[in-house]
Structure 1
């Protein structure tokens, strides 16, 4: 008899190993708590693991079980899947990896061979947030706009379809989802100028089943649907259809299987500035909206616009969570979101009715959400048509793409939030330039930018440290209030996992992986990760052991745009996996080489000033404000003598396009490239001179930086 039991157990294990992924299996995710079958673990995207082996009492024994090097040094944002003993994840440039979830042994990998020059179209690094699974296939969206189906066992390509118009600067960074046999994928590119949409593809064939456009097309063309006809009534002028209008659906989705409703978030406009994009006013549907559709055919059901006539890059593409909550004595099926604009929304997910909304971070653009109209009440600080206004949150948002988590046991949502502010203005000479030019409708040549580019990098860092910080918030969605919070020195931190054992896990930008008590926020455990963390953790179990896994690789929009205080970017990109009793250790990070002596400054004051403006139009998004860089992509202040001599060939000749530095010949002239070079040399001397200080003079200077930064932040002088 024992032999029969063993035989049946082995057969069951064999069956599980080769089981296909289905909608029923995802819906019943709690029946196999050791798996992680879809992006947010289940269709509700709550990111709560039912596993309890790792708990508050033994968390001190958690250690690194194994790690896997992805071979990249760019941002890693993926949420891995664990299916039948295999962990599937993605790296930079849309690469896919399949590893043995017990040991980390690589089983297969897939490189879509994205042309590196396409990286110029990626606003926020060449990142990817993960794969989807259905039947015996793994699906990935690539940075150059393709959707690819891979064999789950071998990684062989089953089909590969182009989802975009290659004449426009589209990208894909989000993880697909699969519902009812349809692979769902959106795209990015609104900063440059595209028209957003969400598409459904047949999982077996790759055929396009439907497409839902999020903004109207050219007024002279016939509208695709009555819904687009309705949306068009909220737009004016002719700039939006020339630029594209924006509204890209680049990340969040959730699915109610009982109601058969798919929810997805919509992004910002092209350009950002509403006075340029739609000069006659209007809400500009469906920008910054949550949209509910039928996943079988893409038909519209309802929408809620979080930021009508958005002009601050306040996307609604942030994580969406579904839950059933008791509100005012009645159980409601709700949708929860903490979008960039700083308000936490609880919405009836069947009807689209707004149930409540309160700010979860400081907000200056709106005083509150009017519950009668469902609209924000804008303040005098909101509009920047006539003059520059410093507004909170900044374009990074109170919460960006980093996933939050909902714990049904505590009733709390854990938000990886940010505190930040930024100046906004209006470019009165806006011109659509096409291609991979950024089209925000804001001027780079401003008094504020003159200040940023003229002050020493150490002072700039001290100011950023006060004006941009991270905050993990435990939020009560019923009472709409903060229960506890933890501050982080670095603004840009990882997504969140919560567990049924009362834990919350988050990685940080300063290179730590931390566990907190889900009820109190008490710090329970941490482990160094060598590099900063962006991605959210997941949990799975095999052979009686619970594991916690996350991707470690610094990058993304925030770190590319500026050097974030406290951040760590010196490590290789890795998949890290922890379990109780794990004893593996990570190799030390890479040391940044000494800064070379900058070449002599030959540029005039005028050329340096011109170069500063041009740099902050074309180069800042990869190389950092005022060249304050995390060196994820080259820190230009550390250029070699040979790179300085080849500056024109690099910038305009495209000699480094094979590693991602595309030619800018169509965007800058030879004379403009020389001016940018003059500014780069100027900024290099700023840092070189600052680094030479020693002893009491350095101490006095650093003290003065802290005092000045404190005054600037207290009185809002930037």
Structure 2
């Protein structure tokens, strides 16, 4: 059956998002969720076990979770594609998924005969595909309520798998569990009231029968949280607020934000989660929330069994620049700090400030802060009041630096690779009355500035390599264009690093030097997603998959609905 006749695809196409003065609204969603089955008998029937998940990062045939492994390395041990032959990489297939809203997702790859891909995109649409042929085996569209409000488009950045289920967060701040063989809904769990402004867009993670998921909606004055659900039933195991009430002044805690809106990193040895945490609320008016606004704009470590907060490393105290720290954390074990004569398990991340931070996994103590990945002009200068008649131009702007973009750690080179924005923005603060379910920015953010800072170099983006032990920036590739760079990076055991740009180039870099070894032109479709790779012993090929298309908010490029899979035979 043609995908044009797929009812779930049609439901996703009928679901549209419209930008309003209160953010994005979802319209035309189906009254009930829709599953359409094509050829489900081709999906091998076996459980994705905990052992498989724990070994995913070292299994060249799998990519079983958002970051490739629990440590979020986005690294494959598949070794067919090398620096010497990457220029021969070919397109295996280029298909349209039929529902081209936000295309920021990262697929999950389950090995078998055949290997199965679970691929998701906005608006809460997911498919099971035969990776050998690109055939759709089933598809599903979630019925998003029409009163959902979203700050930044109908994103879905990827699914999770465990045993006989595949899991997807939903735009109304929930999680849906599907039978991964049939696409039929098994359970749905709401984690917060979407009418209050909560939403969910990231890929959850699962460990030993527990699913971990967070919170979004920081631009609506919500209170951030992280929660654990029973993967079999959806029942809540624990629920933890990110911000401690005793460290916020007055009733400012009620609109504290501090949302955890990207995928957490799980440490199997310590049984803890390392979570990226976003801005305090409201974004630009710090006068209503005195103090450092603890547990915002940084990294939180919590006990995975109980949800107890253990430590927090803050990157932008009392933030008024919207300097979220949303990129997933990478856990690097036994990292050698020669200049300190120390070896430590280290949590590495880059936030919107444009620095890469390496902190001790046990204590959260800062070990190294890197060279800046982008220009820092008028950075941390105070945001003027709207009546002052001044313009508050600062850089990095509210887009960062590094936004949600997941990085990669290449075990071969020992380097981490980040995409970053290099652009100024203007902001003003003003007093706003909080109203539930309405934007609560406490000011205005202008993307188009009246005048860029004098020392601006004119490059809107960069892709850079950093040594996480020394903080030294090893190389940087400046990217020009009219739109912002988006999406993540991926590396290989053969020393390659792959990244896409907003201009439609999918690039293979020499991870050591930054040299371009191969490029693919998408035909001007921006790449806002994060690539994955795997080896299939049935075809004796290594594959790389990447979704094409921008998303709607703030200079992210035009829409598209393509999934491109590249291959190379042994």
TM-score normalised over the length of structure 1:
0.68
Q: 2:270 aligns with which of 256, 259, 262?
A: 259
Q: Does 1:110 align with 2:140?
A: yes
For residues 326 and 50 of structure 2, the distance between their equivalents in structure 1, rounded to whole angstroms, comes to 24
For residues 534 and 146 of structure 2, the distance between their equivalents in structure 1, rounded to whole angstroms, comes to 34
For residues 525 and 255 of structure 1, the distance between their equivalents in structure 2, rounded to whole angstroms, comes to 34
Aligned residue in 1 for 2:373: 360
* SS of structure 2 residue aligned to 1:276: helix
Q: Does 1:425 align with 2:428?
A: yes
Deviation digits for residues 640-667 of structure 1, max 9, x if unmatched?
xxxxxxxxxxxxxxxxxxxxxxxxxxxx
1:503–1:516 CA contact under 8 A, matched in 2: yes
Q: Does 1:232 align with 2:245?
A: yes
Q: Could you tell me how far 1:534 is from its partner in structure 2?
A: 0.6
Q: Does 1:401 align with 2:404?
A: yes
Q: Does 1:275 align with 2:286?
A: yes
For the structure 1 residues 205 and 478, does the alpha-carbon distance in structure 2 shift closer, same or farther, using more than 3 Å as the test?
same
For residues 407 and 451 of structure 1, the distance between their equivalents in structure 2, rounded to whole angstroms, comes to 37
1:174–1:187 CA contact under 8 A, matched in 2: no
2:147–2:195 CA contact under 8 A, matched in 1: no
Deviation digits for residues 238-269 of structure 1, max 9, x if unmatched?
4552xx22111110311110111111111112
Q: Does 1:174 align with 2:228?
A: no
1:494–1:509 CA contact under 8 A, matched in 2: no
Q: 1:64 aligns with which of 91, 94, 116?
A: 91
Q: Could you tell me how far 1:363 is from its partner in structure 2?
A: 2.4
Instruction: Give structure 1 stretches of 5+ with no counterpart.
Output: 1-13, 216-230, 367-378, 453-459, 583-718
Q: 1:130 aligns with which of 158, 171, 175?
A: 158
Bigger Rg, which one = 1
Q: Could you tell me how far 1:495 is from its partner in structure 2?
A: 1.1
Aligned residue in 2 for 1:514: 507
Aligned residue in 1 for 2:53: 26
1:399–1:417 CA contact under 8 A, matched in 2: yes
Q: Could you tell me how far 1:30 is from its partner in structure 2?
A: 4.5
Residues 85-484 of structure 1 aligned to structure 2 (within 5 Å): 85-116=115-146, 118=148, 121-215=149-243, 231-241=244-254, 244-278=255-289, 281-324=290-333, 325-327=335-337, 328-358=340-370, 359-364=372-377, 381-384=381-384, 388-427=391-430, 429-435=431-437, 437-443=438-444, 469-484=460-475
Deviation digits for residues 584-638 of structure 1, max 9, x if unmatched?
xxxxxxxxxxxxxxxxxxxxxxxxxxxxxxxxxxxxxxxxxxxxxxxxxxxxxxx
For residues 110 and 33 of structure 1, the distance between their equivalents in structure 2, rounded to whole angstroms, comes to 28
Q: Could you tell me how far 1:421 is from its partner in structure 2?
A: 1.4
2:58–2:77 CA contact under 8 A, matched in 1: no
4+ long deviations beyond 6 Å: 448-451
1:348–1:354 CA contact under 8 A, matched in 2: yes
Q: 1:538 aligns with which of 532, 536, 544?
A: 532
For residues 478 and 45 of structure 1, the distance between their equivalents in structure 2, rounded to whole angstroms, comes to 17
Q: Could you tell me how far 1:467 is from its partner in structure 2?
A: 5.1
Richer in strand (by share): 2
* SS of structure 1 residue aligned to 2:475: strand
1:405–1:498 CA contact under 8 A, matched in 2: yes
Residues 595-614 of structure 1 aligned to structure 2 (within 5 Å): none
Q: Does 1:550 align with 2:550?
A: no
For residues 347 and 241 of structure 2, the distance between their equivalents in structure 1, rounded to whole angstroms, comes to 22
For the structure 1 residues 129 and 449, does the alpha-carbon distance in structure 2 shift closer, same or farther, using more than 3 Å as the test?
closer
Residues 480-499 of structure 1 aligned to structure 2 (within 5 Å): 480-490=471-481, 491-499=484-492
For residues 147 and 450 of structure 1, the distance between their equivalents in structure 2, rounded to whole angstroms, comes to 36
For the structure 1 residues 166 and 483, does the alpha-carbon distance in structure 2 shift closer, same or farther, using more than 3 Å as the test?
closer
1:240–1:271 CA contact under 8 A, matched in 2: no
For the structure 1 residues 450 and 507, does the alpha-carbon distance in structure 2 shift closer, same or farther, using more than 3 Å as the test?
closer
Q: Does 1:575 align with 2:563?
A: yes
Q: Which sits farther off after the overlay, 340-349 or 382-391?
A: 382-391
Deviation digits for residues 122-164 of structure 1, max 9, x if unmatched?
1111010100111111010011122111111111111111111
* SS of structure 2 residue aligned to 1:93: coil
For residues 187 and 66 of structure 2, the distance between their equivalents in structure 1, rounded to whole angstroms, comes to 21
Aligned residue in 2 for 1:82: 109
Deviation digits for residues 454-495 of structure 1, max 9, x if unmatched?
xxxxxx99x9x9656111101111221111111111332331
For residues 447 and 175 of structure 2, the distance between their equivalents in structure 1, rounded to whole angstroms, comes to 40
For residues 142 and 359 of structure 2, the distance between their equivalents in structure 1, rounded to whole angstroms, comes to 39
TM-score normalised over the length of structure 2:
0.85
Q: How many residues align?
A: 512
For residues 204 and 348 of structure 1, the distance between their equivalents in structure 2, rounded to whole angstroms, comes to 34
For residues 210 and 365 of structure 1, the distance between their equivalents in structure 2, rounded to whole angstroms, comes to 42
For residues 246 and 182 of structure 2, the distance between their equivalents in structure 1, rounded to whole angstroms, comes to 49
CA-based RMSD of the aligned residues comes to: 2.5
Q: Could you tell me how far 1:337 is from its partner in structure 2?
A: 0.4
* SS of structure 1 residue aligned to 2:300: strand
2:127–2:139 CA contact under 8 A, matched in 1: yes
